[in-house]
Structure 1
Amino acid sequence: MPPVFSHGDLRLYLLSLLDEKPLHGYGIIQALSERTGGTYTPSAGTIYPRLAKLEEEGLVTKTRDGRTTIYAITEAGRAEVRARADDIDGIQDGLSDSVRLIADGVRQNVREAMKSLRADLAAAASGGTADEPPHEDPRQAARAEQARAEAVLASFRGSVRADLRTHVARGGTLDPAVIDALQADLDAATARVREALRG
């Protein structure tokens, strides 16, 4: 599973959050958790050093409100957010893909756990053990493998798509030969799968 934020992306994403409204540290942590569907909740040790660095760079200010420290973006910070709007869009797309991949993985783990639980229950009901599972319906087994194949494809698509979007958003170029090689590899994989299905 790729990391939720690539190197340097969290810093820029913090600026984009503060561009929306001033927040205290815990509010920033909550906002990140909400934006990632609860799949990423950074620690205070991750957030506060980055906020301090943004403050040193003159991109963020902090003020005290009683016992709470409120962080707000400066005009220089807003200028960076505007200048790097495409990068922020790429980060947001990458976040969406990461959340989707994590959710797919959770669903697959739940399916596998349920399958194992059903096998254990069936074995217990028949007086056997889980090491001696009952005969499985071939169509049910095929559906389970189909679901596994779809999860593999979704993971591949999401991972490559996130990498491509992030690369391009950061101003990277794409050599047509890389895409041609990807197309050739996918065509070859498709041919192998079709041949196996015919066999």
Structure 2
Amino acid sequence: MHHHDHGCGKRGRFFFMAGRGGGFGPFGPGFRGPRGGGRGGDGFRAGRLLGDGDLRLIALLLIEETPRHGYDIIKALEERSSGVYSPSPGVVYPTLTFLEEAGYASSTTEGSKKVFSITEAGKAHLSENRAAVDAVLDQLERYGRKMARAREWFDWHDEGEGPDRKERAMPEGLRRLKEVRRRLRGSLAEALDAGPEKREEALAILEQAAEALEALFRR
């Protein structure tokens, strides 16, 4: 049987818990929460919600709740993130295989599906990292709620659309945000058709604005 080394050498990466790109701490750089390897604040970004180690821990938590197959885990993460995060099968199934090879999960075949359950070793490992997995799940859920609220206001193209739009007045601040978004879309369309120099200038302006906004919400 193949055995994994879950320890951490003096200069090695913490194999099981490191996020994408390696790193130390319970999550590695894929997680920028209180004990993660990056910046503080809410931390999550749409393009990179979870590092590899984060997903392994969350999958372990989900199969502790009830035995699951890969699609169950995908749907559970969609629900907990308000539809913002839906990992691909190409990410989830290798994660489950890793947990099984590490001795943290076991599997049985039901029909054409492989169903995973947590083992005693998995329960012990999850218990040791309970605060970490609770923190990353909390951030995932908060990020999902935040993005769901944003979609509620910004995904409708006309103010008359939406389930209860007539009963709800759009706050002035959100009106301004919607107008800025409209103008930004127009500018982005022009940048796509512009020459290389203008496009580079536009990118520099957008990058500065993005960095300023990120700094604002990290304060």
User: Which category of TM-score, normalised to the shorter sequence, fits these structures?
Assistant: 0.5 to 0.7
The correspondence for 1:98, drawn from 118, 143, 146, is: 143
Counterpart check, 1:44 vs 2:89 = yes
Q: Would the aligned equivalents of 2:81 and 2:145 in 1 still touch at CA under 8 Å?
A: no
**1:146 maps to what in 2?**
173
User: What does the per-residue CA deviation read over 1:94-134, in whole Å, with 9 as the maximum and x for residues that have no partner?
Assistant: 012210221133134236x22599xxxxxxxxxxxxxxxxx
The answer for unaligned runs of 5 or more in structure 2 is 1-44, 162-168, 179-212
The Cα shift of 1:39 comes to 2.1
Q: Report the RMSD for the aligned CA atoms in angstroms.
A: 3.1
Query: Whose RCO is larger (CA < 8 A, sep 6+)?
Result: 1
Change in CA separation of 1:63 and 1:99 when aligned onto 2, cut-off 3 Å: same
Counterpart check, 1:83 vs 2:128 = yes
The correspondence for 1:68, drawn from 105, 113, 123, is: 113
Counterpart check, 1:9 vs 2:36 = no
Change in CA separation of 1:104 and 1:149 when aligned onto 2, cut-off 3 Å: farther
**TM-score, reference length from structure 2:** 0.52
**1:32 maps to what in 2?**
77
Residue 8 of structure 1 aligns to a residue whose secondary structure is helix
The Cα shift of 1:52 comes to 0.8
User: What does the per-residue CA deviation read over 1:138-168, in whole Å, with 9 as the maximum and x for residues that have no partner?
Assistant: xx9xx765226789xxx979x64xxxxxxxx
User: What does the per-residue CA deviation read over 1:19-50, in whole Å, with 9 as the maximum and x for residues that have no partner?
Assistant: 11111122222212222222222221110011
The correspondence for 1:114, drawn from 120, 145, 158, is: 158
Q: Would the aligned equivalents of 1:30 and 1:41 in 2 still touch at CA under 8 Å?
A: yes
Equivalent pairs, count = 132
Runs of 4 or more above 4 Å deviation: 148-151
- How far apart in 1 are the matches of 2:138 and 2:155? 26
- How far apart in 2 are the matches of 1:77 and 1:150? 46
Aligned-partner residue type, residue 158 of structure 2: M
Task: Show the 5 A alignment for 1:119-130.
Answer: none
Aligned-partner residue type, residue 105 of structure 2: V
Q: Would the aligned equivalents of 2:82 and 2:148 in 1 still touch at CA under 8 Å?
A: no
Q: Would the aligned equivalents of 2:74 and 2:87 in 1 still touch at CA under 8 Å?
A: yes
Residue 5 of structure 1 aligns to a residue whose secondary structure is coil
